[in-house]
Amino acid sequence: MRKKVIAGNWKMNMLPNEAIEFIQEFAPLVKDTQNEVILCVPYTDLFYVLLNTQDTNIKVGAQNMHWEENGAYTGEVSAKMLKSIGVKYVIIGHSERRAYFAETDETVNKKVKTALENELTPIVCVGETLEQREQGLTKDIITNQTKLALDGLDESQVEKVIIAYEPIWAIGTGKTATSEDANDSVKAIREEISKIYGQNVANRVIIQYGGSVKSSNAKELFTTSDIDGGLVGGASLKAEEFAKIVNYEL
Ligand code: 13P
């Protein structure tokens, strides 16, 4: 059985003092969960969040990284830097990075490889635009993005990757994919992984859903056959609300 993995993506929100307050409220609320809980926070919060989650079940992730180990890349942060302070996860290829910061399938693939080489778990985002959806291209787009993100990895590496299916039209809009629809897309991603890497690998890969997840729809989404938890934006900024999502089965 795959475990449920529920990650918050704070995006460009939360100052260190707000992050610390959040954790003080959030940690006791999720201490008994069997689900994996991750907070993906801005670089400037990482150190504070790592310190304040030390004695908790909360894991910490970054929201981006560079694919090179080091060098003249002003403003960038490497996988090794993240690893050195205790970060365990990193979001790669979020649609906002693809749309506003020229992230491509090729850079996503390079980053996934570097993350794995540095023992970081990549949370790789894939998802279609509204236009692509209306043209009936959803499955083609998301399976192709998945294939390209994983290109060149071996089976044992693919098993370590988390995929987040995030339909772009559902991000920050309040519009959620229906659980049936989201599960169908997640299934299509799993089938693509099965075609390339075999059924056993596909059965083990964690595939999340993201896009306007909230406490009122988490249970319906996370209890489908193929959705293994969520990547949560806006609703992860409020401790009580995010805790309800993490504890969705209660
Ligand atoms: P919202 O939950 O705010 O729609 O954001 C989803 C997302 O982009 C998570 O990475």
The model's pLDDT over 118-155, given as tens digits with 9 standing for 90+, comes to 999 999 999 999 999 999 999 999 999 999 999 999 99
State the distance from the centre of ligand 1 to the C-alpha of 226, rounded, in angstroms: 19
155 is catalytic: no
User: Which contiguous run of DSSP H or E holds residue 210?
Assistant: strand 206-210
Residue 72: is its pLDDT beyond 90? yes
- At what angle are helices 179-197 and 138-149 packed, to 10 degrees? 40
Give me the mean pLDDT over the 197-202 stretch: 98
CA distance 201 to 160: 10
Rounded-to-integer distance, Cα 111 and Cα 132, Å: 25
Give the single-character DSSP code of 9.
Answer: E
Distance 198 CA to ligand 1 centre (A): 30
Q: Residue 114 pLDDT > 90, yes or no?
A: yes
| Alpha carbons 230 and 127: distance in angstroms, whole number | 14
Pocket flag, ligand 1, residue 9 (CB < 6 Å)? yes
* Ligand 1 mutation pick, 11, 41, 169, 173, max ligand atoms within 8 A of CB: 11
pLDDT of residue 176: 82
Give the range of the structural domain holding residue 146, as residue numbers without chain letter: 5-246
Nearest-CA residue for ligand 1 atom 2 is 233
What pLDDT score does 244 carry?
Answer: 98
For residue 212, the ligand 1 atom closest to its alpha carbon is 4
Residue 210: the pLDDT is 97
Query: What is the domain-level CATH number for residue 152?
Result: 3.20.20.70
Tell the residue nearest (CA) to atom 9 of ligand 1.
233
The catalytic position among 36, 66, 94, 192 is 94
Using the atom order of ligand 1, give the atom closest to the CA of residue 164.
10
The arithmetic mean of pLDDT across residues 152-161, rounded, is 98
Confidence of residue 66 (pLDDT cuts 50, 70, 90): very high
Active site residue 94: yes
pLDDT tens per residue across span 10-53: 999 999 999 999 999 999 999 999 999 999 999 999 999 999 99
Whole-Å CA distances, 196 to 70, 156, 202, 210, 246: 32, 13, 9, 24, 32
| Total tally of structural domains belonging to the chain | 1
